[in-house]
Chains A and B, each alone.
Chain A
Amino acid sequence: MNPLMFIKKLFSRPNRIVLLAALLLLLTPLLKPVTIERNVYTFQIGFDISQSMNVADVRTNGELATRLDYAKTMAAGLLQSLPCGSHVGWSVFTGRRTLTLLTPLEVCAHYDGLVSSLASVSGSMRWNNGSSIGKGIHQIMRAADEFSAPASIIFMTDGQEAPPLEQGQRGVPNTDKFEVSGMLVGVGGSKPVPIPKTDPAGNPIGFWSATDVVQRVTAGSRIGGEELSKRDDERLTSLARLTNLEFVVLDSVDNLVSEAKSDSFAARRDTLTDIRWIPASLALLLLLWHFLPRYVDITAVQRRINVSRQTQ
């Protein structure tokens, strides 16, 4: 076959599509990632590790889990779904203090480290019993305000105050001076249940009884019920209002992810983005179109052949 004939056949009409796809595919590996401005997020996530978080009254995948484990599962899910370039750090709260464990780290490069650090968050870290949640929220917001880059906070708690607040007490120092947005995430069931008691080594030793805990007193009469715990939506709503945070109740990871990925927590940042999929999927479409079985009206083809014979 002479070369001219070969080239003519090579570039015949149906072949052109295949050759165009080949060209696109050869160009694809040469494409460098481009910088595109995308939404990224920075969250300092705080866990309430006080004793009431040991209550197992939430379900994940059909199994009962403690509130703390549930909160950790949610945080792990969020960590997984945040886009690269986002940052996450951990804090723990009990008693009257929030301790920052890790300042925010980039979620893709330090994913393994963040996961292993999250795994070690547990009730055994507890340095104090009781929970003055308002103080804890104030401290995580102050910490986030100190970070070199702006961060939003996510604070996961059941809202159980111990000792309980007296009527008219705010229970939270003023947070207006912190330029920190965020979410207060309610964890726990809506029915009051007993709180497991643990010894300093973390072993279960029954439940807290009514006489063990400080009870609320109003106008001289005891109200009681502080030895039981539920997700205190009323308290959480008022805390959220006082601290300008959003109050959300967790019922799934997706729920948390969609709340967290709202524009109010997003920052626009240049991120390197791989764009090789664009020419590659164009090539795929061309090839599929080329190979797709299709019905051709054979009689029409024959008619065309006949016409061309007649004209010859």
Chain B
Amino acid sequence: MNLPELFQLDFGLPWVLLLLPLALTPLFERQRDSIGIPSLVWLPADTLGQTLRKVGTCVAAVCLATLIIALAQPGTSKNYIERIGRGAELSVLMDRSASMDAEVRRHQLKPGEQARPSVSKNQVVKEALSWLVNTRPDNRYALTLFNVSAIPVAPFSDDEALILAGLAASGIGRGPNKTNMGLALVSAIEQFDGRSYSGSRAILLVSDGGARLDDTTQQQIRAGLTRNNISLYFIYIQSSANSPDLETVGPDAEDVVEEIALHQFFQQLGTEYRVFQANDPESMKEAVQEIDQQQNLPLAYLEQIPRVDYSRWFYIAAAICCLVLAVLTTIRVHRL
């Protein structure tokens, strides 16, 4: 416990401090110690005795004060240690529209391969991302769901349980129809505004569709990604055999399909962009693993350590005061 920490003491039960005036009780004269003596004039002044008595009174007051402070549970709760880990600030932007509740498209069964139970896209995404959060707790995560509007669920925090609870919640019930990806992207980019740069930054866009973005939105997104130095990863969940393969489309591909239009816009961004296509739990997990490897640069972060309780030291101090008091009473100096 060094000095700056002392000033950050907080109390688990601050109201107990209201009892502190009780620490003054030893300062009052106690008649119990008095002996009726008609005159004190003939007695020599006992300076040493008087001093000892004053010391005793002070020790008693300190004893009561420390004991009352101990009962108020002093400690420091905002303890951070700066650490350098490996990872990134990842903002997960997850499609939460009704289409994500549909089942994933499986690859064609090979001869002899057993059919597996069907899972919704939502479920697949949820599991892969939960895996990422569990294996890389050093990363800092934020979670935003989107459909027509952007729904920020968890801002950037060091509490990975918050993100896991958000991911768990994303699998419950059905989402609304329609999406507005432009608005969602702008909102995810804004999460980085005003944050000090502590390591690599990325937005993980997970969706089963694309969007045709108007010029204003395109400019906002381009400027925002550059301004905040954000990489963009687009995990595209293929819905059906008709879903386009974004990795094979050339620059001259017809952008009639929304996904292709979006992909082509992303490719023209000045900032880092990669697309991952997933059509089953395995490919989804591969995509997430690859992103994890990409975003494995040094990251400065503050780790919060649990509240440190100092009441034990105050209890011990009070006990020592009591012992000192007891010893003080044994001292009688005969020097007449």
Contacts and interface: CB of A to CB of B under 8 A. Distances in A.
A binds B: yes
Interface of A: 1, 6, 9-10, 12, 14-15, 18-19, 21-23, 25-26, 28-29, 89, 92, 95, 97-105, 109-110, 112-114, 116-117, 120, 124-128, 139, 142-143, 146, 274, 276-277, 280-281, 283-284, 287-288, 291-296, 298-299, 301-302
Given A6-B330, A25-B318, A280 B154 contact: no
Interface in B145-199: 145, 147-155, 157, 159, 161-162, 165-166, 168-170, 172-176, 178
B112 to A, nearest CB: 36
A294 B28 CA distance: 10
Contacts, number: 173
A293 B151 contact: no
Contact of A299 (B29, B36, B315): B36
B31 A22 contact: no
Contacts of A103: 165, 168-169, 172
B161 A127 contact: no
Contact of B176 (A26, A97, A294): A97
Given A102-B162, A277-B71, A287-B64, A95 B176 contact: yes
B64 A29 contact: no
A83 B145 CA distance: 30
B32 interface: yes
Contacts of B152: 120, 125
Contacts of A89: 165, 169
Nearest to A117: B154
A193 B161 CA distance: 41
A114 B152 CA distance: 13
A143 to B, nearest CB: 5
A287 B162 contact: no
B140 interface: no
Contacts of A10: 326-327, 329-330
B151 A101 contact: yes
A94 to B, nearest CB: 9
Interface in B2-51: 22, 25-26, 28-32, 34-36
A279 to B, nearest CB: 9
Nearest to A15: B326
B308 interface: no
Given A113-B161, A128-B176, A294-B30, 9 more contacts: A10-B330, A92-B151, A99-B151, A110-B165, A116-B154, A127-B178, A274-B73, A280-B70, A288-B64
Contacts of A126: 149
B311 interface: yes
A95 B34 CA distance: 81
A139 B176 CA distance: 13
Contacts of B31: 293-296, 298
Contacts of B322: 18-19, 21-22, 25, 287
Contacts of B149: 124-127
B176 A127 contact: yes
Nearest to A274: B73
B20 to A, nearest CB: 12
B67 interface: yes
A23 B323 CA distance: 9
Interface string B82-101: 00000000000000100000
Contact of B159 (A110, A143, A293, A295): A110
Nearest to A277: B71
Contacts of B25: 288, 291-293
5 contacts: A97-B174, A113-B154, A117-B155, A293-B25, A301-B36
A280 B71 contact: yes
A127 B147 contact: yes
B315 A29 contact: yes
A145 B95 CA distance: 24
A12 B172 contact: no
A113 B159 contact: yes
Interface string B249-273: 0000000000000000000000000
Nearest to A92: B151
Contact of B319 (A26, A97, A281): A26
B232 interface: no
A21 B70 CA distance: 14
A126 B176 CA distance: 11
Nearest to B29: A293
Contact of B330 (A9, A95, A277): A9
Nearest to A289: B25
Contacts of B70: 280
A299 B30 CA distance: 16
A101 B36 contact: no
